[in-house]
Amino acid sequence: MTGAVPRVGVVTFPGSLDDGDALRAIEQMGGHAVSLWHGERDLRAVDAVILPGGFSYGDYLRCGAIARFAPVMEPVMAFAERGGPVLGICNGFQVLCEAGLLPGAMIRNRSLRFVCRDVWLRVETAQSCITDGLTPGETIEIPIKHGEGQWIATPEQLADVERDMLVVFRYASRTGIVDEAQNPNGAVNNVAGIRNAAGNVVGLMPHPEHAVDPDVGPTGGQPLFASLLHMAMAGVIG
């Protein structure tokens, strides 16, 4: 831990759109936000890292496929391997999958249309860097905005993810019902977010940075950032 207030770095890739929102959310929740540039390898002594949403490198190959090779990703991956909290939001989730830090892959929404709306998520585990303060089974409301948010996996990967309880969130109704009617993109098993085995790396398609300020929408992102800051402060994953 580098100080009394946790330092959370937000990486900016060419095409990142939500880096500013993530930085603002960190500050609103009581953390110290640190901008990180994709072309640098210095993480500036941060205690947690966020890969934000957007269209890194214009999604010209596959979403996140080019960003995965950015110079900053080498220290980010090393940071994650040491147990540091890493959160990938939307495009950041895609980057984490491309980098092999999370299983599966992201493809076009089943509707082949961009989706942008508020959704309800059912919490599946408290064993992650963003759900430490939440209870499995409860629901939170957070917006989504993506065109390639359908998480898929091989049968073997899916079996491992479900067996090891790596699903962090599923798309659900307000009351926690998980069915196809609540699935906005066709993701297998309604998966909205997953974690690694240690719980320090999490990727999710919804945007918690857009759900912090009660003046502009839902506040389901507040407990996620509170947990991230708590984990960054503690320096360990429970």
Positive or negative, the CA dihedral 219, 102, 36, 69 is negative
Backbone angles phi, psi at 104, to 5 degrees: 90, -170
User: Would you call 63 a catalytic residue per the annotation?
Assistant: no
Could you say which of 32, 146, 207, 210 is catalytic? 207
| Closest to 35 in 3D by CA, of 9, 73, 3 | 9
User: Would you call 146 a catalytic residue per the annotation?
Assistant: no
Pairing of β 201-204 and β 86-89: parallel
User: Would you call 209 a catalytic residue per the annotation?
Assistant: yes
Could you say which of 32, 38, 63, 90 is catalytic? 90
| Closest to 225 in 3D by CA, of 47, 28, 9, 45 | 28
Radius of gyration for the alpha carbons in the chain, expressed in angstroms and rounded? 16
**Helix, strand, or coil here: 101?**
coil
179 within 8 A of 129, measured Cβ to Cβ = no
Could you say which of 124, 146, 209, 210 is catalytic? 209
Which residue has tokens 């210095």? 42
**Six token digits for residue 161:** 């993810």
Instruction: Provide the annotated active-site residues.
Output: 90, 207, 209
